[in-house]
Amino acid sequence: MKAVRSYPRPEPKRVGNGLIITSMVLSLCILSLIRTRYISSPFGKSQDLSDRSRRLVSRGEEDEGNRVLLEELREAKRPICVETSRRSDVCEASGDVRVHGSSQTVFVDRDLTSQEWKIKPYARKHDKGALANVKEWTIKAVPDKAPQCTDNHSVPAVVFSVGGYTGNLFHDFTDVLVPLFLTTRHFRGEVQFVVTDAKAWWLIKFSQVLRQLSNYEIIDADADGDAVRCFPRVVAGLTFHKELGIDPAKSPNGYAMADFKEMLREAYGLERAAAEPAGDKWDVRRKPRLLIISRKGSRVFLNERGMSDMAMSLGFDVRVADPDVTTDIGKFARLVNSADVLIGVHGSGLTNVVFLPRGAVFIQVVPMGNLGWLARDTFENPSPEMELKYSAYRIQADESTLSDQYPKDHPVFTDPQSIHKKGWGELSRIYLNNQNLKPHLGRLRLALLEALKLLPHSHTMAQ
Ligand SMILES: *[C@@H]1O[C@H](CO)[C@@H](O)[C@H](O)[C@H]1NC(C)=O
Ligand 1 nearest atom to the CA of residue 230, by list position: 1
> Is the CB of residue 152 below 6 angstroms from any atom belonging to ligand 1?
yes
> Is the CB of residue 308 below 6 angstroms from any atom belonging to ligand 1?
no
> Is the CB of residue 460 below 6 angstroms from any atom belonging to ligand 1?
no
> Is the CB of residue 227 below 6 angstroms from any atom belonging to ligand 1?
no
- Per-residue pLDDT tens for 122-143? 999 999 999 999 999 999 999 9
The fold of the 280-454 domain, in CATH, is Rossmann fold (3.40.50)
In 34-191, beta strands by DSSP E:
81-85, 88-100, 105-108, 117-119, 137-141, 151-152, 157-161
Total length of the chain = 463
* Cβ contact 130:208 at 8 Å: no
In the chain, where are the structural domains located? 80-267, 280-454
Instruction: Show Cβ contacts of residue 22 under 8 Å, excluding neighbours closer than 6 positions.
Output: none
If you measure from the C-alpha of residue 383 to the centroid of ligand 1, how many angstroms do you get, rounded to a whole number?
Answer: 49
pLDDT tier, 69 (very low <50, low <70, confident <90, very high otherwise): low
pLDDT at 297 over 60: yes
% of the chain beyond a pLDDT of 90:
75
> Is the CB of residue 303 below 6 angstroms from any atom belonging to ligand 1?
no
How many C-beta neighbours within 10 Å does residue 398 have?
9
If you measure from the C-alpha of residue 152 to the centroid of ligand 1, how many angstroms do you get, rounded to a whole number?
Answer: 6
> Is the CB of residue 3 below 6 angstroms from any atom belonging to ligand 1?
no
pLDDT for the residue 130: 96
pLDDT for the residue 139: 96
Ligand 1 nearest atom to the CA of residue 149, by list position: 11
Three-class DSSP category at 98: strand
Ligand 1 binding pocket mutation candidate from 99, 149, 229 (most atoms within 8 A of CB): 149
Question: What are the C-alpha distances in Å from 153 to residues 98, 174, 233, 346?
Answer: 10, 29, 10, 44
pLDDT at 14 over 80: no
If you measure from the C-alpha of residue 98 to the centroid of ligand 1, how many angstroms do you get, rounded to a whole number?
Answer: 12
pLDDT for the residue 1: 36
> Residue with the nearest Cα to atom 5 of ligand 1?
152
- Per-residue pLDDT tens for 242-295? 999 999 999 999 999 999 999 999 999 999 999 865 444 445 567 899 999 999
pLDDT tier, 326 (very low <50, low <70, confident <90, very high otherwise): confident
* Cβ contact 137:118 at 8 Å: yes
> Is the CB of residue 150 below 6 angstroms from any atom belonging to ligand 1?
yes
Ligand 1 binding pocket mutation candidate from 152, 153, 229 (most atoms within 8 A of CB): 152
Instruction: Show Cβ contacts of residue 404 under 8 Å, excluding neighbours closer than 6 positions.
Output: none
Three-class DSSP category at 54: helix
Region of residue 231 (left: phi > 0; alpha: psi -120 to 50; beta: else): beta
Please, what's the b/e burial string for 294-326 (b: 16 or more CB within 10 A of its CB; e: otherwise)?
A: bbeeebbbebeeebbebbeebbbebbebebbee
The residues pairing with 219 across neighbouring beta strands, listed in sequence order, are: 194
- Per-residue pLDDT tens for 89-130? 999 999 999 999 999 999 999 999 989 999 999 999 999 999
- Per-residue pLDDT tens for 362-371? 999 999 999 9
> Is the CB of residue 138 below 6 angstroms from any atom belonging to ligand 1?
no
> Is the CB of residue 149 below 6 angstroms from any atom belonging to ligand 1?
yes
> Residue with the nearest Cα to atom 1 of ligand 1?
152
Ligand 1 nearest atom to the CA of residue 151, by list position: 13
Residue range 452-462: mean pLDDT, rounded: 66
Whole-angstrom distance, CA of residue 140 vs CA of residue 14: 35
- Per-residue pLDDT tens for 348-392? 999 999 999 999 999 999 999 999 999 999 999 999 999 999 999
If you measure from the C-alpha of residue 33 to the centroid of ligand 1, how many angstroms do you get, rounded to a whole number?
Answer: 38
